[in-house]
Amino acid sequence: MTIFDLSGKSALITGSSGGLGFAMARGLAQAGAQVILHGRNQDKLHEAHSALSSEGFNVLKISFDITDEAAIEKALGDLKGDGVYVDILVNNAGMQLRKPMIELTRNEWDTVINTNLSSAFLLGRNVARQMMERGQGGKMINIGSLMSSVARPTVGAYTAAKGGVRLLTQSMAAEWAEHGIQSNAIGPGYMITEMTQPLVDDPDFNGWITGRTPSRRWGTPEDLVGTVVYLASPASNYVNGQIIYVDGGMLAVL
């Protein structure tokens, strides 16, 4: 038993049928957790579930709209009905929308904010209520971004949401730490995923990233595994309200 051991714990990772979410789910399973995969695309979710089951991991799957309060309540109720409680919540699901703000509609703004920020509040609040009822504490891990601290043109709504995720995390710590709940965030840098593929395929942007990043490379979803296991484990029991940037040093240097 190490301080990174997650056996006996259940981890729900939103948006985990691919990309960053799947890599983190697999890492948490490797550390001993029962993982609950989540996604909206049933085929991708089924594929992800089969992939982890075939490796012998203890894995469940669930599908619900992370912006819908009733759907969240029902999903957690269904899990509880099966005797499954969320000990570790990774609010990972998100979306990007690249468009200058002067062209952004109110509906587009709301969609990005609801998906990337309000969802973390809604699911975090309901899971925290369950954790407090059980009195066994737990772990909240919110996935931020470099945009939790800095901006770039065309991603204004996303940046506002990810900035909000950083301070939502601190607010969770302020209110829930005394209940044995540690709330922290991870700020992934530029990772090669479905969301960033258009940027990877753009030679100018790609060159800018590899030149601007001290590690001289894009990150991979696997680069997040160590940090999520640390924040999910007893090793971080006195760590609260922090954001850990996993970005190859991009934010640390001019």
Q: What residues make contact with ligand GCO under the rule CB under 6 A?
A: 96, 98, 145-147, 152, 155, 158, 188-190, 195-196
> Is the alpha carbon torsion for 45, 144, 157, 214 positive or negative?
negative
CB of 112 to ligand GCO, least distance (A): 11
| Residue 158 annotated among the catalytic residues of the structure | yes
Q: Rounded distance, CA 138 to CA 146, Å?
A: 26
H-type alpha helices, the chain? 19-30, 42-54, 69-81, 106-113, 119-134, 156-176, 197-200, 203-212, 225-232
CB of 177 to ligand GCO, least distance (A): 26
Which residue, 177 or 251, is less far from ligand GCO as judged by CB? Answer: 251
CB of 247 to ligand GCO, least distance (A): 7
Which residue, 6 or 157, is less far from ligand GCO as judged by CB? Answer: 157
Q: Rounded distance, CA 240 to CA 124, Å?
A: 15
**Site of tokens 């990309």:** 19
- Taking the CA atoms of residue 220, residue 159, residue 241 and residue 176 in that order, the dihedral angle to the nearest 10 degrees is -110
DSSP 124-174: HHHHHHHHHHHT--EEEEEE--GGGT---TT-HHHHHHHHHHHHHHHHHHH
Contact 153/136 with Cβ under 8 angstroms?
A: no
DSSP 94: -
CB of 159 to ligand GCO, least distance (A): 8
Which residue, 129 or 152, is less far from ligand GCO as judged by CB? Answer: 152
Which residue, 94 or 138, is less far from ligand GCO as judged by CB? Answer: 94
- Report which residue type is found at 234: P
Catalytic hit among 85, 158, 230, 245: 158
**C-beta nearest to ligand GCO: residue:** 145
Which residue, 92 or 126, is less far from ligand GCO as judged by CB? Answer: 92
Distance of alpha carbon 75 from the chain centroid: 18
CB of 120 to ligand GCO, least distance (A): 15
The set of catalytic residues is 158
